[in-house]
Chains A and B, each alone.
Chain A
């Protein structure tokens, strides 16, 4: 809770669908309360139906620049698709591009702190450490420990094979394939059957630097 006389903040709340669920209730409460303390609250959402929303989101006391927000999320998604990265986006670059006119650059630290504050409001935004890199995860599905372990393994070469997962993580083939299937379905992994050794590789766009030439493995 802000003390009297402390500086007023610009607060962004990002939430995919501003309906009438529990998470939405929390967000609206937080937004209204923060606004009543004099902070400037902006709620970004991709969907808001006037017939199916909390009353405060219409009468509010906080700004809800809807059309702009939808475009912003669309921009994020199409940027992710163009870069070949499914769901993880370089948030910092995105923010930098959006705020071209701002004098201050956004540091990685700022990003991390902002995202950790967003985490409290739930709904899929999180920062996961994968090896040396920090990725923003914006998928609604919770990635479990198993999936994260695969992502860790993928850091080395950008891809993983079933055999490796079984060996290094001591899993059964069934478990490994299940985990891979989930990651494929989430759009986080792609299959590669083209290597001359005939072994299927699972590539993780988020774990490799696509910008470096090659991506070939020996």
Chain B
């Protein structure tokens, strides 16, 4: 099986017609499902949060072994399908950059709550940067999380009274006080 680094690529990635947006509805739906799953899977294992549609280097968009690349239309179609499913969001109205939510924001919020529990952080304070890159984060999914995604999850938790966000003097000092 072909691999991208240590990521195993599925069979369909080697089959040329999958790189052309199919005209027949049933076939296209099947195609979109396969690509959606591949994108989510890849982003999750490689910790990728943002995909630029025009990125020529994004490895999923082309397969040099079979000399095929996804057209802009196809890329947009697959990413839009993820957006409709609530698994992604367009970051701009021209649909150039897409935020991939291989965990939904609510799921990230739950992961943060777990993190608080595991590390006994109730009632204590931590900077946003520490949450994503501090020693406690190592080995957890929070390590290296995209800052935008993290802030969204934190804000969601703030609305639910689970924590309070406060600004420091610089962006790096932005902090969080976890509730008891």
Contact = CB atoms under 8 A, between A and B. Distances in A.
A174 interface: no
A214 B30 contact: no
Interface stretch (B8-16, B46-54, B86-94, B155-163): B8-16
Contacts of A210: 11, 14-15
Given A195-B67, A215-B66, A216-B66, A185 B24 contact: yes
A194 B15 contact: no
A190 B11 CA distance: 16
Interface residues of B, number: 21
Interface in B22-70: 22-24, 26-27, 30, 65-69
B20 interface: yes
Nearest to A193: B20
B67 A196 contact: yes
A195 B67 CA distance: 7
Nearest to B26: A187
Contacts of A184: 23-24, 27
A29 interface: no
B19 interface: yes
B17 interface: yes
A216 B65 CA distance: 8
Interface of A is mostly: loop
Contacts of B20: 190-194
- Give the size category of A's interface with B: 20 to 34
A149 to B, nearest CB: 20
Most buried by A among B11, B17, B27: B17
A103 B91 CA distance: 58
A143 B87 CA distance: 40
A187 B11 contact: no
Contacts of B17: 190-192, 201, 203
A84 interface: yes
A190 B67 CA distance: 17
Contacts of B11: 84, 210-211
A22 interface: no
A211 B11 CA distance: 7
Contact of A194 (B16, B23, B26, B65): B16
Contacts of B67: 194-196, 216
A68 interface: no
A194 B68 contact: yes
B27 to A, nearest CB: 6
22 contacts: A81-B30, A84-B12, A159-B16, A190-B20, A191-B17, A191-B22, A192-B20, A192-B68, A194-B69, A203-B17, A205-B15, A210-B11, A211-B11, A213-B14, A213-B65, A214-B14, A214-B65, A214-B66, A215-B15, A215-B66, A216-B16, A216-B65
Given A184-B24, A194-B69, A215-B16, 19 more contacts: A84-B15, A159-B16, A187-B27, A190-B18, A190-B20, A190-B22, A194-B19, A194-B20, A194-B68, A195-B67, A195-B68, A201-B17, A203-B16, A203-B17, A211-B11, A214-B65, A214-B66, A215-B15, A216-B16
Interface of B: 2, 11-12, 14-20, 22-24, 26-27, 30, 65-69
